[in-house]
A and B are shown apart, each in its own frame.
Chain A
Amino acid sequence: MEQNVLLGAYVFALAIFLGLEIINRVPGTLHTPLMSGTNAIHGIVLLGAMIVLGTANNWWLQAIGFVAVVAGAANVVGGFAVTDRMLEMFKKKPVPGGAGAAAGPAQGQGKAR
């Protein structure tokens, strides 16, 4: 079997286990941003589209490559932008009576209730 595919299979299997470990710990609160964030990450297939278009030597490959680059870029940029917008809205509880309303998510004693 060709070594590159085999190497890819190893990397793939390890990354799957790693992914399951990491994502298992993501709380339900963040499942929508997680989904849209990973959605943006699979837009990495844009690299494949760039390679197809970059190495294209006839109009047919250029056409396929161009459509793929447009779709891939939309996936990446849109996915990250929408995830960022969502995560921006997740705020910790402000400290009651605290003067710093602008303290934002940085402060640590928000647990008081």
Chain B
Amino acid sequence: MIDNWRDAFVDLAYFAASVLFIVGLKRLSSPASARQGNQLAMVGMLVAVVATLFTRGFENSNYILIIVGIALGGALGYLPARRVKMTAMPQMVAIFNGMGGATAALVSIAEFSHKTDIPGGEAVSIVLGTIIGAVSFTGSAIAFLKLQELMSGRPIVYPNQKPINAALFGGIAVLSLLTLVLYDGNLTLARVLLTLVFVASLVLGALVVVPIGGADMPVVIALLNSATGLAAALTGFVLNNQALVVAGALVGASGTLLTLLMARAMNRKVTNVLFGAFGGGAIASGAAASTGEAKPIREISAEDAAVPLAYAQRVVIVPGYGLAVAQAQHGVRELADMLQERGVDVRYAIHPVAGRMPGHMNVLLAEANVPYDDLYEMDDINDDFAKTDVALVIGANDVTNPAARADTSSPIYGMPILNVDHASQIIVLKRSMKSGFAGIENELFHDPKTTMLFGDAKETINRLIGAVKAA
């Protein structure tokens, strides 16, 4: 009787946790309630973790290990989470994602190594959970190394890359099938095979991400996030735990959606990102270098640029990752405040792939105390550029290139861009005339309405602030 009550308590707690996750995610859809949403999900997690301690069948001596493990892992997660710089957020998410993937793979392997009489559906879930979890672990680890620049962010290519990956994938598929066919008769052999599947999947995860360039990381991180969610749901099948299934499915859905969104914003197919088509970009950059010098550009000084800004009615700021690299977001906020005090309507236009992960630029600007209602998504502001007096482009390049609209021969043709060229005047802050990630020339810089303000973004902004004060 007591045991029944205990089981019911655990089950109801898991149910409550699932509901809290759903409500929490729903609250995340508005900036005003988002923090509360995250906290609801946190409560859900706490409820689920505490309830798990009441699961029947735990060995008494293992409780201390569980508590120590949670305390140790919690500290390992909490300390860097409090300290990490906002520019380093993508690699932080990558590393936590890898931890989740590793956990899912280990749980799957552990279940296979102690259970007997495993039904078919569970066995399939175990094998898939092992593969996806392991790929997500090493894939995230490589993504972390690349984003942290401990490893070159450029795509690393080696001979026979595709055949090697295909062979490895084929090997994993064969070993998995063998595991599933053999486990009913020869469980010991099947356990060895699953270990091989695990190891091969670890290698595959690393090999798939190694050739992917730093600029494609928003897509990769979103995809790996979705993979870990899926792996968590699969372990839920094995453990007959619906809280894991619900949470895993929610994450899988969100990761998939963001992956597709990012790929669309970069005008690339997900398969194209994963299985590499970098030759095209490299060739285009060679072509751009030869023609880049010929066309005229107009340079402007900070003092001259300050005047149209100070006397404009409407200014739109277009920030790119260059702004974050230069740590200029605080200066930009100061400049915007100053203009707003003069009665200028200042807004920010954010391209979906500005930054190193989906929505990264919004976080960087929020850190600099830019109110979120000044941040506009591409579709919400694109029609307003025509009514804008000055568009101030800071460290953004490809996402402003009109060639994406008109030039069918351009490698970025079809990519959705910000209509910066519709503004009456355009001021581009840029370090040098180097081309952007796609390696192509930006027509915007040669537009008669455009003036170029060269230099480090942070210094240039400071000079602009000084000049606006004087204007």
Residue positions of A touching B, CB distance < 8 A: 1-2, 4-9, 11-13, 15-20, 22-57, 60-62, 64-94, 105, 110-111, 113
Contact = CB atoms under 8 A, between A and B. Distances in A.
B16 interface: no
Interface of B: 17, 21-22, 24-26, 28-32, 34-35, 37-39, 41-42, 45, 48-49, 52-53, 55, 57-59, 62-63, 65-66, 69-74, 76-78, 80-82, 84, 86, 89, 92-93, 96-97, 99-100, 102-104, 106-107, 109-111, 113-114, 119-122, 125, 221-222, 225, 228-229, 231-233, 235-255, 257-258, 261, 345, 350, 352, 355, 357-360, 362-363, 366-367, 369, 371-375, 377-378
Chain B contact residues: helix, strand, loop or mixed: helix
Contacts of A7: 242
B248 A55 contact: no
Given A30-B362, A32-B357, A78-B76, A48 B34 contact: no
21 contacts: A5-B121, A19-B249, A19-B253, A19-B254, A32-B93, A36-B89, A42-B248, A48-B239, A62-B62, A64-B109, A65-B62, A71-B73, A71-B99, A77-B74, A77-B78, A85-B81, A86-B89, A86-B363, A87-B35, A92-B371, A94-B371
Contacts of B235: 45, 48
Contacts of B96: 36, 39-40, 43, 74-75, 78-79, 82
Contacts of A69: 65-66, 69-70, 73
A93 B231 CA distance: 40
A54 B31 contact: no
B253 A34 contact: no
A93 B239 CA distance: 47
B73 A90 contact: no
Contact of A44 (B232, B254, B350, B374): B232
Contacts of B66: 50, 53-54, 69
- Give the 8 A-B CB pairs with smallest separation, nearest first: A78-B77, A73-B73, A31-B359, A19-B253, A5-B121, A69-B69, A15-B249, A54-B58
